Amino acid sequence: MSYIHTVNLRDVPLYFAYKRTSKEPDHYQGTFHAHQGVEILIVHEGKGTLIIEQKSYSLAPGMLCIFQPYQLHHVQVELSAETPFIRSIVHFEPSLYESYFDKWPMLQAFYKRIHTGVLPEPCMYHTGDAELLHSLLRSWEQTLPQLAKGDYFEEFSLFLVGFLRTFKQLWEQQPAPPHSGNTSRKPHQAELMLEWLDKHYKEPLRLEHMASELHLSPYHLSHLFKACTGSSISDYVTAKKMQQAIMLLTASEQSIARIGEEVGITNSSYFCKMFKAQMGITPHQYRKQFHRKLYPLPR
């Protein structure tokens, strides 16, 4: 299933995983998904394809990626005992930590850029010497279990400042993409299909119409999309609708019925039913919970 992740970044305002390892297909089931907050992915080992919005990137050791808030993405990995997927993750809600960057204008500008700016590319391959970053991650892994809950915000903010300072240096050292295009990114067979779906996801899904416009048979279209992304076309469309609905719920005051119409679901009851099936709660409950999560815990 493809879905939007519900991330509780209020009770645990910074999610961290160091060298999480998957070796068997059962250990990792990637789906198209999006989530609250900024996620930074550091790939230690792995082989496969990463799709962010409508673009694809080859998964490779040393790769660093930024997933911006509610940005639809999918990781398809080729797993075996010889080629495990080993990655570290830092995931946080930017609004909770903005005040901690006030005294460092250049770092604050980078902080704002990674969650509100338009990035030339979301992934970086040529990271150079990243040992300082890995040393910081190893140290934080040892420190994290010892923290008292009342110290979370102070300690998390100190870690985040140090982490983003190091990450910024690596990010800004990457070579500028050549004028002919970024050679680190290879074309993906699914990109034309994803681009088509992003233009038409509000409309009723008609496989024959899509196949005709892309000059494929419906059978070939479905199987090619599944092979390239690991997801069905209908699951992707659902994920896209939910992604847009979440963005409207959290960034606007439009009514639930109007938001349903905006994502192509004119029946308000059906929209609420679909949303709850994906998210576990109603659109109204999600909106209320989101606004509560913007306030930090008492210290």
What's the pLDDT band for 182 if we cut at 50, 70, 90?
A: very low
Higher pLDDT: 228 or 42? It is: 42
Structure tokens at 299: 């210290």
200 has pLDDT over 80: yes
DSSP-derived 3-state class of residue 200: helix
DSSP 175: P
Predicted confidence at residue 77, as pLDDT, reads: 87
Write the CA distances from 186 to 48, 50, 51, 55, 236, integer angstroms.
12, 11, 11, 9, 21
pLDDT digits (tens, 9 = 90+) for 202-216: 999 999 999 999 999
What is the pTM for the complete model shown?
Answer: 0.75
Instruction: Give the contacts of 94 (CB within 8 A, at least 6 positions apart).
Output: 37, 38, 69, 111, 112, 115
Predicted confidence at residue 95, as pLDDT, reads: 82
For residues 194 and 225, give the distance between their C-alpha atoms in angstroms, rounded to a whole number.
Answer: 9
Main-chain phi, psi angles of 14, to 5 degrees: -145, 115
pLDDT digits (tens, 9 = 90+) for 103-145: 899 999 999 999 888 888 899 886 667 889 999 999 999 998 8
DSSP-derived 3-state class of residue 286: helix
Structure tokens at 1: 């299933």
If one counts every other C-beta atom within 10 angstroms of the C-beta of residue 176, the result is 7
Instruction: Give the contacts of 147 (CB within 8 A, at least 6 positions apart).
Output: 155
Predicted confidence at residue 13, as pLDDT, reads: 75
Predicted confidence at residue 202, as pLDDT, reads: 92
Predicted confidence at residue 295, as pLDDT, reads: 41
pLDDT digits (tens, 9 = 90+) for 58-105: 889 989 999 998 888 888 888 888 889 999 999 998 888 888 898 899
Predicted confidence at residue 176, as pLDDT, reads: 58
